[in-house]
Chain A
């Protein structure tokens, strides 16, 4: 009985963790690479989940909706960065604290708009595979977790290859280090940052699809995810893209074990405890360089 519970908790944790990595990926780009603490990212993910739910209500597959919504979300990300840049970077000083307040306000407005448009009712999607499980010996893997869990590493790997092997990708990784050098080599740093914000926003809709396939989503669901997303990025180490998978799984497994052996009501505190412990004990994260 114990072995059964333990194995299934680990299985669930690994799958959940993989999804957490998807959730944090946009933040790993904006915060990890560009050093812009976009705490509105989880609200984008929730907005993505709502878009997916809307598409699904017309009978479309959630993943197909996410794929179709990639471009609009990318454009929204461009616009959002443009707004942020006009407010802050033109003023000369990119004041982090004011920026945080701005992002806080944006996430709040976004959440409240969702609340006013769709009400407090939770949104969900209906797909054929929800409710069924893949059973391997003692281990039972529900498809509603397995499908998004397999999606996340694909997205992380794609982004990592893009950042490593393309010209623009390398520029994204360079922009926070030395904008001047980037300008000298003929690239507009502002264009690169805008592009990176677009990519981050596009990952939000995929993460939103993953989130709503797991279970129902409500407008303020992002609040909980802020902690998870930042815990993943910080634990991975700032700017480490592949690290998000390992960090996500570590957090997912911890949450699943706490849920299984203590109580599910304690699970929300797990990610935050890991975040605080990481900040206090190993601020450079698992895979990051000491700064």
Chain B
């Protein structure tokens, strides 16, 4: 017992000095989130054109994906090239539940999250002990493995995909695509809320310590390995959850698209372009890049689209590693000085 007295204080101190401010901000965040959802409900009443909801679903899906990716990539600093693997596993979990049990989409979300969380945990457990590089490579591996598994599973339709009839949407939503738009909006808001909670809680302080210096953090009593595992699990859960409603949205899924390149690329590019240090970064990046892509698919080919995102990604990594938010910060500081 006596030896414990000499240890350094852990990273979980009593409430920080600005806790009242934090509470006010949290309240504002919750009210803002509710307002955004309310606007979403209003839009389902006000907007006639179904294309609006099809396009918005994709953009909001990218907000959730980018946010989920950033929990691991931005906060913990581990690059996940396999966002498509988690997303695809979530999408196929949804499809499996729909095919086997006729499950509603709101049940598919938590189940997919649980599956993705366990998958993330396993991945982290196997690779994080060694070195960050191996984790990144293992995530590329995960996409190929999940893809191969689906190709070889006849029940899931193999290479030719799976067409399913989703159950009727509840009457209050005003239609299938409107309902799924709201489901995805709720998922994205939930993802952003989780990310924000991580940032303001002691978990986020642990991640910041870990990123600054893993050795120093470990010495100061931060449970670094467990934090990294938690990031893997939370990130995996959000990514999988985002995939779960896909089959309800499209009535069809195939391995080529869910495990495809565009998804993995966007999940990385969006947080990096927006800024990976805090939750608004991925949201800004996803809305910006998602909207441009939705607009651009009509005018340019999908190859050119991928090429442009790739070039922008290289430019951001090379010139502005903290993204748009980082540039704004630099600009503000420059003005003050």
**Hey, which bits of chain A sit against chain B, CB under 8 A?**
31, 37, 39, 87, 95-98, 100-102, 104-106, 108-109, 112-113, 115-116, 220, 223-224, 226-227, 230, 234, 263, 265-266, 268-269, 272-273, 275-276, 279-280, 283
Report whether B311 and A100 are in contact in the complex, using a CB–CB cutoff of 8 Å: no
How many B residues touch the partner, as a band?
35 or more
Report if B303 contacts A (CB, 8 A). yes
Say how far A247's CB is from chain B's closest CB, in angstroms. Answer: 15
Q: In the complex, which residue of chain A has the Cβ closest to the Cβ of B314?
A: A105
Assembled-state Cα–Cα distance A262/B41 (Å) = 51
Report if B173 contacts A (CB, 8 A). no
Report whether B151 and A265 are in contact in the complex, using a CB–CB cutoff of 8 Å: yes
Q: In the complex, which residue of chain B has the Cβ closest to the Cβ of A274?
A: B141
Report whether A96 and B133 are in contact in the complex, using a CB–CB cutoff of 8 Å: yes
Report whether B79 and A101 are in contact in the complex, using a CB–CB cutoff of 8 Å: yes
**Residues 211-228 of B contacting A (Cβ, < 8 Å):** none
* Cross-chain contact of A279 among B73, B127, B140, B314 (Cβ < 8 A): B127
Report whether B138 and A276 are in contact in the complex, using a CB–CB cutoff of 8 Å: yes
* Cross-chain contact of A37 among B78, B129, B136 (Cβ < 8 A): B136
Report whether B79 and A100 are in contact in the complex, using a CB–CB cutoff of 8 Å: yes
* Cross-chain contact of A115 among B145, B149, B303 (Cβ < 8 A): B303
Assembled-state Cα–Cα distance A98/B271 (Å) = 13
* Cross-chain contact of B137 among A39, A102, A280 (Cβ < 8 A): A39
Say how far B140's CB is from chain A's closest CB, in angstroms. Answer: 5
Assembled-state Cα–Cα distance A40/B81 (Å) = 13
Which residue of B129, B133, B268, B321 has the most chain A CB atoms within 10 A of its CB atom? B133
* Cross-chain contact of A109 among B132, B136, B140, B310 (Cβ < 8 A): B310
Q: List 28 A-B contacts (CB under 8 A).
A: A39-B137, A95-B321, A96-B132, A97-B77, A97-B79, A100-B81, A100-B133, A101-B317, A102-B317, A104-B313, A105-B311, A108-B310, A108-B313, A109-B311, A112-B310, A116-B303, A220-B261, A226-B140, A227-B137, A227-B141, A263-B152, A266-B152, A269-B144, A269-B148, A272-B145, A276-B126, A276-B141, A279-B134
Say how far B139's CB is from chain A's closest CB, in angstroms. Answer: 10
Q: In the complex, which residue of chain A has the Cβ closest to the Cβ of B135?
A: A279
Report whether A104 and B268 are in contact in the complex, using a CB–CB cutoff of 8 Å: yes
Q: In the complex, which residue of chain B has the Cβ closest to the Cβ of A272?
A: B141
Report whether A279 and B152 are in contact in the complex, using a CB–CB cutoff of 8 Å: no
Say how far A144's CB is from chain B's closest CB, in angstroms. Answer: 25
Q: In the complex, which residue of chain A has the Cβ closest to the Cβ of B134?
A: A279
Which residue of A100, A106, A115 has the most chain B CB atoms within 10 A of its CB atom? A100
* Cross-chain contact of B136 among A100, A223, A265, A275 (Cβ < 8 A): A100
| Given A97-B78, A230-B137; 14 other pairs, CB 8 A cutoff | A31-B133, A101-B268, A101-B313, A104-B81, A104-B313, A227-B137, A227-B140, A266-B152, A269-B149, A275-B137, A276-B126, A276-B141, A280-B126, A283-B130
Total A-B pairs, Cβ < 8 A = 106
**Hey, which bits of chain B sit against chain A, CB under 8 A?**
73, 77-79, 81, 126-127, 129-130, 132-134, 136-138, 140-142, 144-145, 147-149, 151-152, 261, 265, 268, 272, 303-304, 306-307, 310-311, 313-314, 317-318, 321
Q: In the complex, which residue of chain A has the Cβ closest to the Cβ of B152?
A: A265
Note all chain B residues with C-beta closer than 8 A to A275. Answer: 137-138, 141
Say how far A157's CB is from chain B's closest CB, in angstroms. Answer: 27
Which residue of B136, B138, B147, B317 has the most chain A CB atoms within 10 A of its CB atom? B317
Note all chain B residues with C-beta closer than 8 A to A112. Answer: 303, 306-307, 310
Note all chain B residues with C-beta closer than 8 A to A272. Answer: 141-142, 144-145
Q: In the complex, which residue of chain B has the Cβ closest to the Cβ of A86?
A: B318
Say how far A121's CB is from chain B's closest CB, in angstroms. Answer: 14
Say how far A86's CB is from chain B's closest CB, in angstroms. Answer: 8
Given A265-B148, A269-B148, A279-B126 contact (CB < 8 Å): yes
Q: In the complex, which residue of chain B has the Cβ closest to the Cβ of A230?
A: B137
Report whether B314 and A102 are in contact in the complex, using a CB–CB cutoff of 8 Å: yes
Assembled-state Cα–Cα distance A273/B144 (Å) = 10
Report whether A37 and B137 are in contact in the complex, using a CB–CB cutoff of 8 Å: yes
* Cross-chain contact of B307 among A98, A116, A283 (Cβ < 8 A): A116
Say how far B52's CB is from chain A's closest CB, in angstroms. Answer: 30
Assembled-state Cα–Cα distance A113/B304 (Å) = 9
Q: In the complex, which residue of chain A has the Cβ closest to the Cβ of B301?
A: A116
Which residue of A105, A115, A268 has the most chain B CB atoms within 10 A of its CB atom? A105
Report whether A116 and B126 are in contact in the complex, using a CB–CB cutoff of 8 Å: no
Assembled-state Cα–Cα distance A151/B241 (Å) = 48
Assembled-state Cα–Cα distance A27/B133 (Å) = 13
* Cross-chain contact of B317 among A37, A98, A113, A269 (Cβ < 8 A): A98
Q: In the complex, which residue of chain A has the Cβ closest to the Cβ of B141?
A: A272
Note all chain B residues with C-beta closer than 8 A to A273. Answer: 145
Say how far B322's CB is from chain A's closest CB, in angstroms. Answer: 11
Note all chain A residues with C-beta closer than 8 A to B133. Answer: 31, 37, 96, 100
Q: In the complex, which residue of chain B has the Cβ closest to the Cβ of A106?
A: B314
Say how far A37's CB is from chain B's closest CB, in angstroms. Answer: 5
* Cross-chain contact of B127 among A37, A226, A276 (Cβ < 8 A): A276
